[in-house]
Amino acid sequence: MRTGHAGTRAIVRKIATTIILAIATFTTLTGCVNQGDAPSPSPSSTLPTGLVSTAPTAPVDTGEVTAAPEAAGDSQQKAIAAATKVMQTFAQPQLSAEKWWAQLLPLLSQQGGVAYEGTDPSQIPVHQVTGAGTVVPDRTEVSLIVQLLTDAGLYNITLTRPDASAPWLADRIRAAQG
């Protein structure tokens, strides 16, 4: 008898919990979507994961993707000069970490600064730039990649800038892979 009551209570509790949580799940999932205009569909229309069981009509979509405009020749020349300076500064494994960082940091973008902090320059395998830089296709006025040949092989220097009047800054300095 006692056991039976306990079992019934447990089942009722379980059902109640599940319903509350189903509502909570649905509210959580849709809360950030509705932004004000909040219709309140029945929780029973949700799958366990919160996905709605009825299908949307696929929107007709004929959009075409356009490429960003190409950087002017002058911008590309400046990018090659900037990348070369970045590489010459980066490729100084003989420097102390403090000196190396003081020289490199002003040439880095914000994300570059976060990434290269804590680098031990003595581990850098590059000593010098050995060839002229080339700009990788899909070069834009605000982001492009310069390839440079060094004594440790080909490197990609990703450059970024907020607009065409700002100096190019380095985001990544990486040996070309593959």
Partner 1 sequence: MAKQRGLGAAAFGAIPLILVGALIAGILLIFGPAQQAGACGPGASVDPTQIPKDAVAGYSGDQLTNAAYIMNAATALNLDRVAQIIGVMTAMGESSLRVVDHGDTAGPDSRGLFQQRDNGAWGSLADRMDPTISATNFFKALERVDGWEALHPTIAAHRVQGNADPYHYEKFYAPAATVVGTLAGTGVTVCQSGYLVFPLNPGYQMTSNYGPRGYVTEGASLWHAGDDLQHYPNPCHDPVFAITDGTVTLLAGYQLSIKSPDGYTVSYLHMYLGEVLVKVGDQVTAGQQVGATGSNGPSTGCHLHFAISVAGNTNPAIADLPRSESIGGPAGFVDPELFYEAFGLTLCAPDGCRRTY
Task: Report if residue 118 touches partner 1, rule: CB under 8 A.
Answer: yes
Which residues in 10-39 contact partner 1 (CB under 8 A)? Answer: 10-11, 13-14, 17-18, 21-22, 24-25, 28-30, 32-35, 37, 39
Which residues in 49-78 contact partner 1 (CB under 8 A)? Answer: 49-52, 54-69
Is 7 strand, coil or helix? Answer: helix
Task: Report if residue 115 touches partner 1, rule: CB under 8 A.
Answer: yes
Neighbours of 114 (CB within 10 A): 10
CA distance 14 to 67: 55
* Cα 170 from chain centre: 15
β-pair type (134-135, 153-160):
unpaired
Task: Report if residue 7 touches partner 1, rule: CB under 8 A.
Answer: yes
Structure tokens at 160: 């970024």
Under rule CB under 8 A, how many of the chain's residues touch partner 1? 85
CB of 83 to partner 1, least distance (A): 13
Is 96 strand, coil or helix? Answer: coil
Task: Report if residue 174 touches partner 1, rule: CB under 8 A.
Answer: yes
Using the minimum distance from each CB to partner 1, give the nearer residue, 110 or 130: 110
For residues 136 and 156, is the Cβ–Cβ distance under 8 A?
Answer: yes
Which one of the spans 76-84, 99-107, 136-144 is the region binding partner 1 (CB under 8 A)? 136-144
